Structure 1
Amino acid sequence: MTAVSLRRRAASVVAWALPYWTRGPAGRETPAELFRVLYLGWLVAFSFKVLGASWDVSWHFKWLRDDLAPPHLLNSVGTVVVVALTIIHVYTGYGVDRTAQRLIQWGTATFLIAVPLDLINHRVNGLDITSWSPSHMLLYIGTFFMICGVIRGWFIGAPPGRTRTLVLGGLFVFMFENVWFPAQHQEYGVFGIRAWDAGKPEAEPILLQFAADQMGRAIDREMVVNFSLPVPDHVYPLYAAAAAMIVLVFARAMIGRAFAATAVVGAYVAYRALIWPLLAVADFPRSAVPAFLVAGALAIDLAFLLRNPVLRALVGSLLTTIVVDQALRLQNGWLASPPLVSLMTMAIGGALLTALWLGGEWFLTRYRLRARDREVTAGA
C-alpha cells in the first residue's frame, strides 16, 4: 500500500468518525456500525495485551528486567488502544451505560496509576520476583474492572445472535486470562526448577546472580526454588478452586449457552498450548499448561443443569472442588503442575467457592445479568 493510499484511507476513517465526536451522556443511542467498531477495538486491545503478557512471564524467567523489553512494548500497544477507547466512551457516551462507563474509566485509571508505581517498586526493590506483589496486583485489578465494564457494555448493547455470543465468550476468555495471570508464576517456576535440576538452567547467569544478590545468598537450588516458587504452595490450588472457577460461573450465566464455561477455559488452555512450542523454539522458558481447569469448567457447566440457584451453588461448589482437585493431581502425575496440597486445603478452597458462588447467584439476579434477562429485554 502506497503512502498516498494510506493517507486517503486515513482521511476516509477520520471523515467517518468525526461526526460521532460529540459530547454526550452515557447510554445515548449508538449507531450499530459505531458500536461494532468500538468493541472490535476492545478485542484488538486485549489481544495485544494478552500476547505481551504471555511473553512477559516467560521473558522474566530468562532475562534481567528491562522497562523497554519487547513484551512490555507489545503490551503497551494494547494499553494505548485501551486509553483511546476509554476517552471515546467517557467523552461521547457511546457504546456504554453509566455503570459500564464508570467501570472502564476507573479500571483504566487504576491500571495507569499502577504502571508508574510498579516502575518505582522495581527501582526500589529490584526484581520484585513474584507476580503476586502489590504493584502487580494493582495492574490486574485495574484490568479486571476495565474488562468488567467492556463485558457489561457488550452484554446490554449488542443485539441477540451468534456474534453477540461469540464476542461475549471472547471477552470472558480475556477476563479469565487476566484473573489467572498471577498463577502463571508457579507454572513457569516448576519448569525453572526442573531445568536447574537437569543442569540446564533457563535463566541467564546475570538474572540468577541478581536474584541471588537480592536474596543475600549464593546461587544454589534453594535460591532457585525461592525465585521460582516464591509464594506458599497452597496459593495455587486455592486460587484455582475459588478465583478461577467463580469467573466461569459468571461466564456460564451471562453467555447462557450449554458448556459455555468449558468453551471459555478450553480456548484459554488451547492458547497456552499453542504458545508453549513457540516459546520453546525461541529458547524461552516453558510452563505447565493448566489443562486441569477444563475439568473444573465442565463441572460448572453440569451444575447449571440444576435450576434452583442455591442448590446449584451448593452442589456445584462441591462437585467443582472435587473435580479440580482430582484433575490437578492427575496432571501432576502425568504431566507437570505446581506442588500439590492436602485435601483439607482444597476443602477451604471449596468453602471459598461456595461463598463466592452463592454471592454470585444473588448478584446475577439482582442486577439482571443472566443471558435470559437480556433476551427478555431485547424482546420487549
Structure 2
Amino acid sequence: MSPKRSATQAIHWALPYWTRGEAGRQTPEDLFRVLYFGWLVAFSFKVLGASWDVSWHFKWLRDDLAPPHLLNSVGTAIALTLTIIHLYTGYGVDRTAQRLIGWGTAIFLIAVPLDLINHRINGLDITSWSPSHMMLYIGTLLMVSGVTRGWFVGAPPGRTRTLVLGALGVFLLENVWFPAQHQEYGVFGIAAWDRGRPEAEPILLQFAADQMGRAVDRAMVVKFSLPVPDELYPVYGVAAAMLVLIVARAMTGRLLTATAVAAAYVAYRAVIWPLLAVTGFPRSAVPLFLIAGALMVDLAFLIRNPVLRALAGSLAVTVVVDRALHLQSAAYLTPPLVSPMVLAAGGVLLAVLWLAVEWALTRFRLRAQDMEAVVSATANP
C-alpha cells in the first residue's frame, strides 16, 4: 500500500472523531489505543533526544538547532498534537488527566522560548538545575503524569494495561532523574581531563572559562562538571527517584514493579552511553544503585499498613542506597560520595514524602485495587 493511500485511509478513519466534547466521553477502543500508542512514540523521541542532548552539551558548544534538540522536537510535536486532540475532543482522558496534560504541555512550551532567551543572556547556563530547565522538566512531569492518569482510568484490565503503566513509569523516572545526569557526566568529564584527554571540545572549554572569568584549568573543569553541591545527587536519588517507583508500584499492584521500572531505566542508560561513546560523545556514570533502592520499595509493599510501610520502607531504602552507592563507587565511577548523615536527611525527607504519597494515592483512588473495584462494580451492577 502506498504512503499516500495509507495517509488517506488514516484521515478518513480519524475525521469522524474530530468533534468537540467534554473530558470523560466514551472513547472507542481503537481510538484509545492509537492515542496512547502515539504518546509512547512521543515520549520515546523525547527520551532519545534528551539522552543525546546531555552528552552533546559535554562535548560541543550549545546550538539551538543541534540534532538532539531536533530529535526532541519531533516528540514535542507529536505530544502537542495529542494534547490538542485531548483538549478539543475530550477523548481518552478524564478531567484530571486532561488538565495535567494541558498544563504540562503549556508549561513546556512556555519554557522553550524562556530557555532560549536565558541562553542568549547567560551563555551556557552551566547547570541543568537552572529555572528555565526546571520548567522543562516540570512541564514534562505533568504531561507524563496526565497520560499515566488517562491510561490508568481508561485502559481495560490485562497484561497490556500493566505493561504500559510500567513503560510510563520508566518515562517518568527518566524525566525526574534527567537533571541528576549532569553529575553523572561531570565525573567522567573530570576524569577525562585528569587523563589529559578532555572529552569537551576546546571551543566549549574556552567558552565556559570565559563565562567564569578564569583560565582553562582543572578548577574550571570541576566547576563546569559539578556545579551543584555533592549532597544533591544522593539525596535526590533517595527522595525523588524513589517516589516515582513508589507510585508505579502502587498503580500496577504487581510484585517487583518498582525493581522492573528501575532496571529498565538503568538498562537503557547502560546501552545508550556505549552507543554515544562509539560515535565520540562523552560517557556517563550509570545509576545502578537505583535498582537496589527499588527492590527495597517492592519489599516495603509487602507491609499492608501504609504508615508502617512508608516508615520502614524509607529506612530500608536509605540504608541500602548508601551501601549500593559505596559498592558502585568502588567498582565503577560515581558522583562524589557524602556522609551517611546527609543521606539520612534524604531518608527523613523520603519518609515525609512517602506518607504524603500514600495519602494522595488513597485520596485520588490511584491504587491498582481501586481500579479493580471499579471494573468489578461495572461488570456486576
TM-score band, normalised by the shorter chain?
over 0.9
Give how far 1:324 is off: 0.8
1:263 counterpart (256, 260, 263): 260
Once the two structures are TM-superposed, the CA of residue 320 in structure 1 deviates from its matched residue by 0.5
Q: Which amino acid in structure 1 is aligned with residue 376 of structure 2?
A: G
Give the corresponding residue for 1:14: 11
Q: How does 1:278-357 map to 2 (within 5 A)?
A: 278-357=275-354
Residue 144 of structure 2 corresponds to which residue in structure 1? 147
Alignment of 1:148-163 (within 5 A): 148-163=145-160
| Residue 109 (1) aligns with residue 110 (2) | no
Q: Residue 364 of structure 1 corresponds to which residue in structure 2?
A: 361
Mapped to 1, the partners of 2:375 and 2:66 lie a distance apart of 46
What is residue 166 of structure 2 aligned with on the other side?
169
Tell me if 1:216 matches 2:228: no
Q: In the aligned structure 2, how far is the partner of 1:250 from the partner of 1:326?
A: 24
Provide the TM-score with structure 2 as the length reference.
0.98
Q: Which residue does 1:245 correspond to in 2?
A: 242
Are residue 96 (structure 1) and residue 123 (structure 2) matched? no
Offset of residue 336 of structure 1? 1.1
- The residue type equivalent to 1:17 in the other structure is A
Alignment partner, residue 26 of structure 2: 29
Aligned AA (2:181): Q
For 1:128 and 1:42, the matched residues in 2 are separated by 30
Q: Mark the runs of 5 or more structure 2 residues left unpaired by the alignment.
A: none
Q: What is the alpha-carbon distance in structure 2 between the residues aligned to residue 281 and residue 117 of structure 1?
A: 33
Partner AA of 1:31 in structure 2: P
**Partner of residue 42, structure 1:** 39
Q: Within the alignment, does 1:183 sit opposite 2:184 as a pair?
A: no
Q: Distance in 2 between matches of 1:171 and 1:241?
A: 20
**Counterpart code for 2:267:** A
Q: Deviations over 1:3-29 (max 9, x none)?
A: xx1111110000000000000000000
State the Cα deviation string for residues 103-152 of structure 1 (Å, max 9, x = none): 00000000000000000000000000111000000000000001110000
Alignment-derived partner of residue 232 in structure 2? 235
Tell me the CA shift for residue 342 of structure 1. Answer: 0.7
- Partner amino acid, structure 2, of 1:244: A
Alignment RMSD (CA, Å): 0.6
Q: CA deviation at 1:351?
A: 0.5
The DSSP-based 3-state class of the residue aligned with 1:310 is helix
Equivalent residue for 1:197, pick from 194, 198, 204: 194
Q: Detail structure 1 runs of 4+ shifted over 3 Å in the superposition.
A: none
Counterpart of 1:70 (choices 67, 70, 75) is 67
The residue that corresponds to 2:54 in the other structure is 57
For 1:128, which of 119, 125, 129 is the aligned residue? Answer: 125
Task: Give aligned-pair identity as a percent.
Answer: 76
- Number of paired residues? 377
| In 2: Cα distance, 1:187 partner to 1:161 partner | 37
| Amino acid of the structure 2 residue aligned with 1:284 | F
1:233 is paired with a residue of what secondary structure?
coil
User: Offset at 1:204?
Assistant: 0.1
How many Å separate the matches in 1 of 2:318 and 2:114? Answer: 36
In structure 1, the gaps of 5 or more residues are none
Amino acid at match of 1:365: T
Rounded to whole Å, the distance in 2 between the matches of 1:20 and 1:325 is 52
Provide the rounded CA distance (Å) in 1 between the counterparts of 2:293 and 2:69.
Answer: 32
CA offset at residue 379 of structure 1? 1.3
Deviation at residue 276 of structure 1 after TM alignment = 1.6
* 1:275 equivalent in structure 2: 272
Normalising by structure 1, we get a TM-score of: 0.99
Q: Can you list the C-alpha shifts for 1:36-55, whole angstroms capped at 9, x where unaligned?
A: 00000000000000000000
User: CA separation in 2, counterparts of 1:196 and 1:263?
Assistant: 36
Amino acid at match of 1:356: L
- How far did residue 255 of structure 1 move? 1.0
Partner Cα distance (1:258, 1:22) in 2: 41
Pairwise CA distance, 1:232: 0.4
3-state secondary structure, aligned to 2:129: coil
The 3-state SS of whatever aligns with 2:303 is coil
State the Cα deviation string for residues 74-131 of structure 1 (Å, max 9, x = none): 0000000000000000000000000000000000000000000000000000000111
In the alignment, which residue of structure 2 is the partner of 1:254?
Answer: 251
Amino acid at match of 1:193: I
